[in-house]
Amino acid sequence: MAPSNSSPSSTTAPVDAQPPITPAEVSLPEITPKAVILSVVLAAVLAGANAYLGLFAGMTVSASIPAAVASMAILRLCRESNILENNIVQTAASSGEALAAGVIFTIPALLLIGHWTVFEYWQTASIALVGGILGVLCTIPLRRALIVEARLRFPEGVATAEVLKVGSPTAGPPAAAPSGTPEARAGFRTLLMAGVVGGSVKFCESGLRVWSEALEGAGQVGRTILYGGVNLSAALLGVGFIIGLNTALVVFAGGVVGWLVLLPAYGAIVGVPHGLAPLDAARAVWGAQIRYVGIGAMLVGGLWTLFGLRRPVLESVRYLHAAYRLTTARALPNHGGSLARTDRDASLPWIAIPFLMSLVPMAVIYRGVVDDVFVAVIMTVAMALAAFLFSSVAAYMAGLVGSSSNPVSGVTIATLMLAAGLLVMLLGHGNPAGPAATLLIGAVVCCAAAMGGDNLQDLKTGHLVGATPWKQQIMQVIGVVSGAIVIVPVLTLLQAKYGIGEPTITHPHPLSAPQATLMASLARGVFRGGLPWGLVGLGMGIGLIVILLDRHLEGRGSTFRLPVLAVALGIYLPLKLSAAILFGGLLAAGAGRGSAGGAPTQQGLLFAAGLVTGEALMGILLAVPVGLGALWPAISSDPFAQFEKPPLGPWPGVLVLAAVAVLLYRSAVASAGSRR
């Protein structure tokens, strides 16, 4: 989404006028043993689920609200729990989910360029850990600037706070009381039921192979080909419901441009591969030609994002300086007292020392890639500066539009282009280490940017419920560590079961990993050449047209917008994915018309989140035997290999997906009706 040009003062959220539910003078247990254990488990689970979703669909969703609901429902089984304990759990859990987004957007590209053949555990974990910690540390000083002083909206943080308030007792003085209200229990049941539904659909499709993964087809028309298709995924239905009709429609519009306009036009002008079935020919033309148009559009989108964020960056730096001065003044003995509990961030030594220590492992990794100490040091410094810049940008953008709408792909593209330019000067144009070195810088920065927006959303939630900031910041680091530990085995399993990026004989229908494939193409193109610059230029032209149309809509005050990165992603994604996402967006619009507030209800959003999580976890579980088979050949690599190609094709899946859509719609509308 294009950034707003309004100043921070103009984005004041009225909810900030409300006092926190837990006053500063009241101290409740926050970091407890049961909260830490639950945080680690949820962070690991959500990191794995988001890794699958991002590789599959090229999109990730915020897990703060599902984590809050799950936390409230589970902690109610304990004798005592409270709203701040619940807030601690969702803080750490959502950190693990955000870290996964940063990893899957970049790390698989190292396999796609041939630098790795498998995911290197310690290097991948180090990259994720360093990027995540830098994202946490760089945004700690911005809490006061953006939340307390600027009072930015942080819409997802506000929504999560409302969920926590609904699920916790608020009458009378805050106390350590059970947090499992009927609303929380109902929300957890919805989340659990939807998870079972999503997992069952995935098991039948990918495990038992009862139906095909998609309903699709293509036909020869003269010299060219026409294609149409929709993926039969419950998770994609949930993604479309969560992001809403506007974004889903824009992504689908990009798919229409790529598959229904550019692909037939290319076939009519140039022709299509001979000797292939129409469906295979359509996939071949898209993979070898049309997706580079999406790359061009993403390049323009990334540069436009960077240009549009010039004012927020300057504002962030100004607020950062002012916040440090204010915090230092309040901490002086002659100030008359220390900071209140609800205003205490981690101190400067706890920011500076871990920041410097985190640079050491990356310098070692960079040294191993480029085999030059001086270049490795320059890369480390550039990485640290970019991580601070873009995590701050992501934090500011999360305050304006929410962390799910943060253009992390755009800032990562900008980072790659800047890093590639720097490394070309240091290493030379044809250096074989250049693509890997570029991606390693981009991977850390991408993780930091993904964490930056999520961190501030969680700190906004804590601000509204009366949490202690430094305790939340500790739990954000715990969430990062949990996600970094689990993400490599998850990626390894998914690679073994489904394949990632490019189709092969073993994995003809791999997880598309659109962002990672894009990053790999950019890194290879800069250092090795081979990019079809004519098609990239066409994509850049389309991106400029989309930007002009979006500016026109903004000038007219239209509620419908055309974010260029969403259009570019649609061009780059298989049409069958964006079609399924569109159906989810249409369901959200229909459910919104049936609700009291004109927007999908919390129960509907929880059901959609459950579909996403259930399918993702089942996808990972189905990959476990394949991963074990790779380690121990005596074990069957795939116990479901005995199931042949679905005899009825996709049609059973069409009926099942229709039933899931009905359940999702009824869940949203029924909960709206019960509130009237």
pLDDT in tens, 99-111: 988 898 889 999 9
Q: Greater confidence, 454 or 409?
A: 454
* Residues recorded for the chain: 676
pLDDT for res 398 = 72
pLDDT for res 601 = 67
Q: Which helix (H) or strand (E) holds 364?
A: helix 348-370
| Residue 194 in tokens | 């939807």
Q: Rounded to an integer, what distance in angstroms lies between the CA atom of residue 142 and that of residue 136? A: 10
Residue 604 in this model has a pLDDT that exceeds 50 = yes
Q: Rounded to an integer, what distance in angstroms lies between the CA atom of residue 244 and that of residue 166? A: 24
Q: Rounded to an integer, what distance in angstroms lies between the CA atom of residue 221 and that of residue 264? A: 9
Q: Rounded to an integer, what distance in angstroms lies between the CA atom of residue 262 and that of residue 286? A: 9
Q: Rounded to an integer, what distance in angstroms lies between the CA atom of residue 611 and that of residue 238? A: 6
pLDDT for res 171 = 35
CB 582 within 8 A of CB 236: no
Provide the pLDDT confidence category of residue 633 given band limits of 50, 70 and 90: low
pLDDT for res 323 = 53
For the range 625-634, what are the long-range contacts, defined as Cβ-Cβ under 8 Å and sequence gap of 24 or more?
626/493, 626/496, 626/497, 627/489, 627/492, 627/493, 627/496, 627/497, 629/496, 630/496
pLDDT for res 658 = 95
Provide the pLDDT confidence category of residue 170 given band limits of 50, 70 and 90: very low
Q: How many CB atoms lie within 10 A of CB 659?
A: 13
CA–centroid distance for 3 within its chain: 18
pLDDT for res 176 = 41
CB 63 within 8 A of CB 97: yes
Phi, psi of 5 (to 5 degrees): -100, 5
pLDDT digits (tens, 9 = 90+) for 474-499: 999 999 999 999 999 989 888 888 88
Residue 115 in this model has a pLDDT that exceeds 50 = yes
pLDDT for res 419 = 86
CB 484 within 8 A of CB 129: yes
Which three-class secondary structure state does DSSP give residue 146?
Answer: helix
Which of 83-87, 151-155, 326-330, 454-458 is least confident? 326-330
Label residue 237 left, alpha or beta by phi (over 0 means left) and psi (-120 to 50 means alpha). Answer: alpha
Q: Rounded to an integer, what distance in angstroms lies between the CA atom of residue 197 and that of residue 71? A: 21
Q: Which helix (H) or strand (E) holds 92?
A: helix 83-104
Provide the pLDDT confidence category of residue 322 given band limits of 50, 70 and 90: low
Highest mean pLDDT among 178-187, 330-339, 367-376: 367-376
Question: Average of pLDDT values for 341-365?
Answer: 84
pLDDT for res 484 = 92
CB 275 within 8 A of CB 220: no
pLDDT for res 336 = 42
Question: Average of pLDDT values for 61-67?
Answer: 73
CB 82 within 8 A of CB 29: yes
The string over 287-310, giving b where at least 16 C-beta atoms fall within 10 Å of a residue's C-beta and e elsewhere, is: eebbbbbbbbbbbbbbbbbbebbe
Phi, psi of 496 (to 5 degrees): -70, -40
Provide the pLDDT confidence category of residue 4 given band limits of 50, 70 and 90: very low
Residue 8 in this model has a pLDDT that exceeds 50 = no
CB 672 within 8 A of CB 594: yes
Q: Greater confidence, 593 or 508?
A: 508
SS3 string, 447-492, reads HHHHHHHHHHHHHHHHHHHCCCHHHHHHHHHHHHHHHHHHHHHHHH
pLDDT digits (tens, 9 = 90+) for 612-632: 878 877 887 777 776 565 555
| Residue 73 in tokens | 């429902």
Name the β-bridge partners of 215: 230
Residue 12 in this model has a pLDDT that exceeds 50 = no
CB 39 within 8 A of CB 183: no
Q: Where are the domains of the chain?
A: 8-14+30-170+178-192+307-497, 198-275+546-675
| Residue 286 in tokens | 């898209």
pTM over 0.85: no
| Residue 449 in tokens | 């940017």
Q: Which of the 8 DSSP states describes residue 228?
A: E
Q: Rounded to an integer, what distance in angstroms lies between the CA atom of residue 42 and that of residue 58? A: 22
Question: Average of pLDDT values for 283-292?
Answer: 83
Task: Write down the H helix ranges in 176-274.
Answer: 182-202, 234-255, 263-269
Round the average pLDDT of the chain to a whole number and report it: 79
